Chain A
Amino acid sequence: MLSALLVMAAIAVVLGAVLGFAAIKFHTEGNPLVDNIDAILPQTQCGQCSYPGCKPYATAIAAGEADINRCPPGGVEGIQKLADLLGVEFKPFGNDTAAPKPKSVAYIDESTCIGCTLCIQACPVDAIVGAAKQMHTIIAAECTGCELCVAPCPVDCISMPVIEEKISNWKWKYPVYDLNVTAATQTAKTGMPH
Chain B
Amino acid sequence: MRKLYRFHGGIHPPSNKTQSTQTPIEQVPLPGKLIVPLQQHAGEIAKPVVQIGDRVLKGQLIGMPDGFVSSAVHAPTSGTIDAIDMQLIAHPSGLPNLCATLIPDGKDEWGVREPVDFRSHNPAELQHLLRMAGVVGLGGAVFPSDIKLRTGKQKITTLILNGAECEPYISCDDMLMRERAAQIIEGAEMLRFMLDANEVLIGVEDNKPQAIAALQHAISELGADDQEYNCHEVVAIPTIYPGGSAKQLIRVLTGLEVPSGKLPTDIGVQSFNVATAYTVYRALAHGEPVLSRIVTIAGNVRRPQNYEVLIGTPIDALLALSELLPDTDRYIMGGPMMGMPLPGVHVPAVKATNCVIAASPFLFPPAPPAMPCIRCTRCVEVCPVDLQPQDLFWFAQSREFGRAQLFNLFDCIECGACSYVCPSHIPLVQYYRFAKSEIRAREQDKNLADQARERHDYREYRVEREKREKAEKLAAREKAALAAKTGSQPPLTAGQKAEQAGIEASRAHILAVAQSEVGQPEAGQPEIGQTDAGVPK
Residues in chain A within 8 A of chain B (CB atoms): 38, 41-45, 53-54, 124-127, 142, 144, 165-175, 177-181, 183-185, 187-194
Contacts and interface: CB of A to CB of B under 8 A. Distances in A.
Given A125-B459, A185-B366, A191-B340, A170 B93 contact: yes
5 contacts: A125-B452, A144-B448, A172-B436, A178-B369, A191-B332
B120 interface: no
Interface in B339-356: 339-341
A169 B441 CA distance: 8
B315 to A, nearest CB: 15
Contact of A124 (B97, B366, B459): B459
Given A125-B456, A191-B341, A194-B367, A171 B441 contact: yes
Contacts, number: 115
A43 B420 contact: no
Contacts of A168: 45
Nearest to B337: A193
A167 B427 contact: no
A184 B427 CA distance: 10
Interface in B427-471: 427, 429-431, 433-434, 436-438, 441, 445, 448-453, 455-456, 458-459
B30 interface: no
B92 interface: yes
Nearest to B444: A169
Closest A-B pairs by Cβ, 4 of them: A191-B341, A185-B366, A175-B430, A43-B449
Interface string B321-333: 0000000001010
A107 to B, nearest CB: 18
Contacts of A43: 448-450, 452-453, 456
Contact of A42 (B366, B434, B445): B445
B371 interface: yes
A53 B456 contact: yes
A154 B339 CA distance: 53
A170 B433 CA distance: 12
A2 B2 CA distance: 83
A6 to B, nearest CB: 54
Interface residues of B, number: 47
B341 A172 contact: no
Tell me the interface secondary structure of chain A in the complex. Answer: loop
Contact of A194 (B419, B449, B451): B419
B338 to A, nearest CB: 7
B217 interface: no
B419 A175 contact: no
Given A125-B456, A192-B419, A184 B338 contact: no
Given A43-B453, A142-B451, A184-B366, A194 B420 contact: yes
A148 B452 CA distance: 14
Given A41-B449, A125-B456, A167-B93, 6 more contacts: A42-B445, A166-B95, A183-B369, A187-B370, A191-B339, A192-B430
B76 interface: no
A73 to B, nearest CB: 10
Given A43-B452, A126-B459, A184-B370, A172 B427 contact: no
Contact of B368 (A44, A54, A144, A184): A184
B370 A177 contact: yes
A179 B95 contact: no
B91 A179 contact: no
A124 B456 contact: yes
Given A165-B95, A175-B427, A179-B369, A193 B336 contact: yes
A92 B423 CA distance: 39
Contacts of A180: 369
A126 B462 CA distance: 11
B452 A184 contact: no
Q: Which of A54, A127, A177, A183 has the most CB of B within 10 A?
A: A177
B416 interface: yes
B145 interface: no
A165 B86 CA distance: 14
Contacts of A171: 434, 437-438, 441
